[in-house]
Amino acid sequence: MPRSRTEKPQGTSRGATSAAPRIPDPLHDLALLIRSRYGLIHLETAEEGRAESLLRHLADHLSLPLFVWRRRKGLQRADAQGPVYGTETLAGALGHVEAARFPALYHFKSLGAALQDAGLVEQLRDAAAPYEKGEGALVLTGTDFQIPQTLRARTALVQLPAPTLEDYKKLLSHIYRDLWQRMHVQSEMRKSDLAKLLNNLKGLTLLEAEKILTKAMVEDGKLSPGDIQLVIDAKKEIVEREGLLEYFPVEESMTNVAGLRGLKEWLQQRRKIILDPERAASFGLSFPKGVLLLGVPGCGKSLCAKAVATEWRLPLLKLDPANLYNKYVGESERNFKRAIATAERCAPVILWIDELEKAFASVGGDHDGGTSTRVFGTFLSWMQDHKEHVFVVATANDVAQLPPEFLRKGRFDEIFFVDLPDAESREAIFRIHLSKRGQDPDQFEVGQLVEASAGFSGAEIEQVVVAALFAAFSSRTPLTSKDLMQEVASTQPIAVTMGEKIAELRAWARDRVRNAH
């Protein structure tokens, strides 16, 4: 399917500094496609209101009438009253367009399952055919359908860009002025509060943002810094509505991640790109793609994903691969595309995929009908080609189950091996978890604990502290070093229970990937 590619700069000579990507202009792109005689255009968006407004501007720009088809209402000219007789059904509307052959734009909303009907698909092709030689086009909007294979060669795809910060700012101003006239809303926002509010709206449609902002101001008659949290809570609910992504509030920081100096230094360098993208672009640097963290379970890989979001001041979305798979043919791929589309709308964002091997361990097999292979292929293509600022942090415990394509250069910016913590890191982990639970680390024999806990993972050290606190609480006595040492002695660490597996993993990683420590 031809795409309207607006993001790739043209005419850059070899050796020249890369130009900044062109800002997408869907009005220009649609006009160009219509003048290029594309009779059928798929305008991909979940915002039907924005799409219709854009098509009204396009119709004015091209001096063409605009007709809009709505299910049950039929085909109606945008600047006239009443629908065209006999066009309530899609078949009737397409029949009218084919018979009229009238220079115009025709907007068809959310056709959904209708495009699975071979007869309607044939009608759609015949209705669009005259506009491949004349003025006008049929524009299909929505995200709940796929263009049938028989129409893809003659259909252009244009993706309506997500709302910009300026769009949200204009929306907020409009809502505030409208409410002020009716109920005299007060604003208590400083410039920094306003910037934070607008940033947290990113990823929402304008309609969703309008409802949230209106509710926030109507509830107490003011726009205040407290409304930022209301926006965050509402956004979390919207993002998680389909059950594909989990929205994580920013809580952890890199100060709570012990050791991993190599990974921290690498992330710190990339952080400067996030904070100063214009200067990075002038150096020919683009937004980083992501990292793959391989290693021993319980050694802080997942904690790192949360901490990166805090250090880079970006929202964090977690994709659970288990939620992608559906028993219906094609639904798993659509689930993945919906999840990725949500992440791209929220960009810039951190996308955390935990235990990657569980999602794609079946690649190459046929016991699931090839579903894993298709989703895997879609994921690889997206990792290679996506333009939106989505940084992927993927974690895996068993490299043997990962398809080899993941380990090829170019999929991720870097692959790190996360080993069991050394003595210095174990001391830091003990201190972190004691402090988090109101204990003074200097009151304990931390050196003895570090020596006794050789081979423990970070998660196991945390459980030692928690279990010792339970014992002390139960006996109504203060926590002591003896309590902690008893828990260490009674724990069989992962270095013992999975010794052979860890040795194999270390041997594999030694000359293949970068050490996170």
Q: Which domains does the chain have, with CATH numbers?
A: 26-159 (3.40.50.300), 165-239 (1.10.8), 254-418 (3.40.50.300), 423-497 (1.10.8.60)
Give the residue, 12 or 206, on which the prediction is more confident.
Answer: 206
Q: How far apart are the C-alpha atoms of 226 and 334, rounded to whole Å?
A: 37
Determine the average pLDDT of the residues in 146-151: 88
Give the residue, 288 or 376, on which the prediction is more confident.
Answer: 288
Determine the average pLDDT of the residues in 208-220: 92
pLDDT surpassing 90 at residue 251:
no
Token reading at 23:
């800002």
Contacts of 246 (CB under 8 A, 6+ apart): 240, 317, 318, 320
Question: 2-16, 136-150, 315-329: which range is least confident on average?
Answer: 2-16
Most confident of 2-16, 178-192, 244-258, 347-361: 178-192
Token reading at 362:
């079946």
Pairing relationship of beta strands 390-396 and 414-418 according to DSSP bridges? unpaired
Contacts of 435 (CB under 8 A, 6+ apart): 441
pTM score of the predicted model: 0.73
Split at pLDDT 50, 70, 90, the class of 16 is very low
Q: How far apart are the C-alpha atoms of 366 and 297, rounded to whole Å?
A: 29
Contact predicate 144/112, CB 8 Å = yes
Give the residue, 18 or 129, on which the prediction is more confident.
Answer: 129
- Residue 367 pLDDT: 57
Helices (H), 361-420: 371-385
Token reading at 304:
């790192």
Q: How far apart are the C-alpha atoms of 341 and 217, rounded to whole Å?
A: 29
Could you read off the pLDDT of 418-472 as tens digits, one per residue?
999 989 989 999 999 999 999 999 999 999 999 999 999 999 999 999 999 999 9
pLDDT surpassing 50 at residue 93:
yes
Q: How far apart are the C-alpha atoms of 338 and 351, rounded to whole Å?
A: 14
> Which contiguous run of DSSP H or E holds residue 439?
none
Split at pLDDT 50, 70, 90, the class of 279 is confident
Contact predicate 335/378, CB 8 Å = no
**DSSP sequence for 194-211:** HHHHHHHHTTS-HHHHHH
Q: How far apart are the C-alpha atoms of 302 and 395, rounded to whole Å?
A: 7
Residue 419's nearest CA partner among 350, 498, 481, 361 is 498
Distances (CA, A) of 386 to 346, 390, 392, 434: 14, 8, 11, 42
- Written as one letter, the residue type at 480 is T
Token reading at 283:
């150096």
Question: 10-19, 322-331, 504-513: which range is least confident on average?
Answer: 10-19
- Written as one letter, the residue type at 380 is L
Q: How far apart are the first and last CA of the chain?
A: 46
Residue 146 has φ and ψ, to the nearest 5°, of -120, 140
Q: How far apart are the C-alpha atoms of 7 and 4, rounded to whole Å?
A: 9
Provide the 3-class DSSP secondary structure of residue 255.
helix
Q: Which residue has the tokens 């639970």?
A: 437
Give the residue, 498 or 479, on which the prediction is more confident.
Answer: 479
Most confident of 4-8, 303-307, 395-399: 395-399
DSSP state of 239: H
Could you read off the pLDDT of 356-411 as tens digits, one per residue?
887 776 565 555 556 777 788 888 888 888 888 899 999 888 887 888 888 877 78
pLDDT surpassing 90 at residue 11:
no
Q: How far apart are the C-alpha atoms of 450 and 431, rounded to whole Å?
A: 11
- Residue 286 pLDDT: 87
- Greatest C-alpha distance within the chain: 89
Provide the 3-class DSSP secondary structure of residue 338.
helix
Token reading at 307:
């901490």
Q: Which residue has the tokens 């012990």?
A: 258
Mean pLDDT, the chain, as a whole number?
A: 85
